[in-house]
Amino acid sequence: MGEDQERIEMIGDFVAESRELLEEIEPQIIAMEEHVSHAGMVDDEILNSIFRLFHSIKGMASFLDLQTVINVTHEAETLLDIFRKGKASLAPGHIELLYKTGDFIKGLLNTIEQQLSDGGLENEARGIIGEIQQTIQGIAAKADPAEEPEEQSPPDPAAWIFTITPEMIKRFIEDGWEILEEAETSLLQLENKPNHYPLLEQIFRSFHSFKGNAGFLGFSDLEQVSHGAENTLNEMLEGQVTVNNEAISELLKTIDSLRDRLGKVVVPYEQKIAKEDDLVGEQAESSSLLEQQQVLVEAERLPTNGNVTGGADPNKNVTNNIQQAIRVDVEKLDTLLDLVGEMVISAAMVSHNPDLQGLQLDRFEKAISHLNKITRDIQDVSMSLRMVPLAGIFRKMVRVVRDVSNKMHKKATLEIIGEDTEVDKTIIEQISDPLVHIMRNAVDHGLESPEQRRAVGKPETGRVILEARHTGGEVWILIRDDGKGLNRERILNKAIERGLLLNERQDLKDEEVWKLIFEPGLTTVAEISAISGRGVGMDVVRQNIEKLRGRIEIRSTPGQGTLFIIRIPLTLAIIEGMVVRVGKAMYTFPIASIKECFQPKGSQIVVNPDGLEVVNIRGELLPVIRLHQLYKVQPTFEGLTEGILIVMESEDQKCCLFVDELIGQQQIVIKPLPPALGNIRGVSGMAILGDGEVSMILDIANLMVSTEDLLGIKTE
């Protein structure tokens, strides 16, 4: 049962890592395609990178004996090796075949994840393999009809020494520690089960995988040592060597030796780079790369007391080389974050306990201050564990733009900005589908055909820009195209046709018109395409974003393009909030939205003929929103000079909120509204305060819109 669980975990790791590698492959293929179209030749560095990614998947599959994956990736390697050796030019058909191979492996990973094997898709695999082999034969026939396709030979590390990245070295070290640890554990188990062949096979695969990874990166000493152990294990499997304590001890010594050498991989790699520097005269650039690599490699192990260039003591068991990264189940992180949230609430309950009010407790205050600091530090660390960059999901959009533009016979390029921006992992998972839909629409609906663009003086190739940035306590994702923009009249006509508007209201602002495209079933496309046009999707996009407590805005200029702005919170768990009181009700505002708080003077307040209250703040006139009117509660104060005004800002809009009292700033754990309450205007969630009271968390942007609708107050 333990072995079954171990294989399940190994399969899970394989699927996760392979998916990450496939995400890297797609942008690389697109980059290679673009380089060929512009420069007329293949970029060797990109080509080698794609080759290595397929090779990495093949190596991991070999370790788990996933034969279908091995066969498909091997054929992809063979095809790529032809281009690496300059035996043929890359053609569009080859690009499509590589995409098709990657898509097949994606589907295969889903099967592996469900049934823990890659069986059942052999026919589809044979189809892909047949296409690749037929392509290879066609290339060979064009080059020399009499020449048979050459058997793939192992890549020569010297041919691509400069394309070995710090990330590859880091991954090799991480995987190496894990493989050696697994082999050691299995060897110790083998002492009690000397004739247990599944264990022997598992240990053999461990050394085989380690050898393959080392050989691929050119670490010949590691490759030779692991090859010797592999031979010994092969003889054990064939019954030529007896499995006893002596043989197991020798293999354990080999693992110790490999660990020692693995901790010093920076030395041979450094020497190779230096040697190549002498040949090509790129000392400065390579030195910078070397510094990166050395930092990354050194970070993977604890400092040693000895000289890293010296030989290892054969009588000393190396224990100071340890891996500094571990994989953690997302459910455990979710549980941790929930517990941190409860701890924040509990700490607030202790520090705001009404039984302690009015007491002079200096030591207690110091202890509470220290507790709050530790709580905040724990919260920051636990939140950071869930923060991941948007790079992964952004790179998927490269494929989306490429596929849609090809299918619709358009030319488009995608520019990515701010892909290192981090958000909560839960948000990443839920934002993917809406983003794909908007990107597809940007190319399909937004960009004109090359002929149309030429006719209006635009470049044939349209531009789509995907950008992410932090703004206040939010992350903004911006999708901008330089296409024809939205058609106001057509949207209004379609809205009237579907009964969304009683008549064509010319007084509607552009922003209100653009929002109509989020209504179910509304589409302005004359013809339904394979991509879009049925009016299904944009309403779902808005719903999915609103589930994240986010919102989406549109700005469009006819003939110049359209901008979609997706605004989402950094995290769904904890925020810094200002708690206020209105009558007996408590409300919380995100600190990022507050500009200032003050008690106004009578001379600052003006009431216009329509009854709208406005306050003059240093020459700027801002409307006043009375929360007690909006939420129908009985306030303590009616006069504006008696209570507190809070200046709130959201985008380019400002207003003043009138409240009775400021309770104070504190960390707020966001809880969803109970389903029985439904949707409340301007409310994004609720929080439990330190004294046990419940506070509504207000969404300022939504609150401003709600106020405009209900009270006719314009906050612009």
Cβ pair 587, 695 in contact under 8 A: yes
48 and 169 co-located in one domain: no
For residue 313, pLDDT beyond 70: no
Cβ pair 69, 61 in contact under 8 A: yes
* DSSP assignment letter at 571: -
Q: CATH number of the domain at 90, please.
A: 1.20.120.160
Beta strands 613-617; 551-557: pairing state: unpaired
146 and 214 co-located in one domain: no
Q: How far apart are CA 293 and CA 269, in angstroms?
A: 9
351 and 446 co-located in one domain: no
In a domain, 318, yes or no: no
In a domain, 41, yes or no: yes
- What is the extent of the structural domain holding 620? 574-711
403 and 532 co-located in one domain: yes
pLDDT at 48: 84
Q: How far apart are CA 109 and CA 116, in angstroms?
A: 9
pLDDT at 454: 92
In a domain, 410, yes or no: yes
103-132 as b/e: b if 16+ CB within 10 A: ebbeebbebbeeebebeebeeebeebbebb
Q: Average pLDDT in the 30-39 region? A: 78
| Phi, psi of 363, deg, nearest 5 | -65, -35
In a domain, 309, yes or no: no
Model confidence band, residue 452 (pLDDT cutoffs 50, 70, 90): very high
pLDDT at 426: 77
Q: CATH number of the domain at 407, please.
A: 3.30.565.10
Helix (H, G, I), strand (E, B) or coil at 438: helix
Identify which of 222, 138, 168 has the alpha carbon closest to the alpha carbon of residue 55.
168
Lookup: tokens for 707 = 């106020």
- Across the strands, what pairs with 178? none
Beta strands 561-569; 551-557: pairing state: antiparallel
411 and 537 co-located in one domain: yes
Identify which of 656, 640, 653 has the alpha carbon closest to the alpha carbon of residue 597.
656
* Mean pLDDT of all residues belonging to the chain: 77
pLDDT at 652: 66
| Residue tagged 């500009």 (tokens) | 595
Type of residue found at 223: E
Identify which of 585, 606, 586 has the alpha carbon closest to the alpha carbon of residue 656.
606
Largest CA distance in the chain: 102
673 and 588 co-located in one domain: yes
Identify which of 79, 276, 243 has the alpha carbon closest to the alpha carbon of residue 162.
276
In a domain, 130, yes or no: yes
128 and 166 co-located in one domain: no
Q: What percent of the chain has pLDDT over 70?
A: 80
* DSSP assignment letter at 356: G
How many domains, in total, are found in the chain? 5
Model confidence band, residue 521 (pLDDT cutoffs 50, 70, 90): low
Q: CATH number of the domain at 585, please.
A: 2.40.50.180
pLDDT at 99: 85
243 and 380 co-located in one domain: no
pLDDT at 707: 58
412 and 559 co-located in one domain: yes
pTM listed for this prediction: 0.57
pLDDT at 645: 92
Q: Average pLDDT in the 339-362 region? A: 79
pLDDT tens-digit map of 44-59: 888 888 888 888 888 8
pLDDT at 152: 45
Type of residue found at 472: G
In a domain, 488, yes or no: yes
pLDDT at 563: 94
pLDDT at 315: 40
Lookup: tokens for 698 = 């207000």
Q: How far apart are CA 533 and CA 192, in angstroms?
A: 66
- CA-to-CA dists, residue 530 to 26, 440, 540, 561, 650, angstroms: 22, 11, 19, 23, 38
Model confidence band, residue 325 (pLDDT cutoffs 50, 70, 90): low
pLDDT at 451: 93
429 and 556 co-located in one domain: yes
Q: CATH number of the domain at 345, please.
A: 1.10.287.560
Rg from Cα positions in the chain: 32
Model confidence band, residue 658 (pLDDT cutoffs 50, 70, 90): very high
109 and 236 co-located in one domain: no
What crossing angle do the helices spanning 391-407 and 2-39 adopt, rounded to 10°? 50
pLDDT tens-digit map of 409-432: 898 989 999 988 888 887 887 888
Q: What angle do CA 558, 560, 565 make, to 5 degrees?
A: 90
Give the number of other Cβ atoms within 10 Å of residue 471's Cβ: 11
What crossing angle do the helices spanning 92-115 and 67-84 adopt, rounded to 10°? 160
Chain centroid, CA 50 distance in Å:
21
For residue 148, pLDDT beyond 50: no
Given 111, 126, 153, which residue is the final one in a domain?
153
pLDDT at 7: 74
Q: Average pLDDT in the 562-569 region? A: 88
For residue 121, pLDDT beyond 90: no
In a domain, 139, yes or no: yes
In a domain, 633, yes or no: yes
Helix (H, G, I), strand (E, B) or coil at 156: coil
pLDDT tens-digit map of 257-287: 898 888 877 534 333 433 333 433 333 333 3
Cβ pair 659, 647 in contact under 8 A: no
659 and 592 co-located in one domain: yes
- CA-to-CA dists, residue 320 to 183, 189, 478, 590, 696, angstroms: 18, 23, 47, 47, 52
Given 153, 181, 207, which residue is the final one in a domain?
153
Which range (15-19, 33-37, 155-159) has the least confidence?
Answer: 155-159
- CA-to-CA dists, residue 482 to 425, 461, 562, angstroms: 31, 10, 7
Cβ pair 629, 611 in contact under 8 A: no
Given 569, 592, 611, which residue is the final one in a domain?
569
Which range (73-82, 433-442, 519-528) has the least confidence?
Answer: 519-528
Chain centroid, CA 122 distance in Å:
32
Q: Average pLDDT in the 662-669 region? A: 80
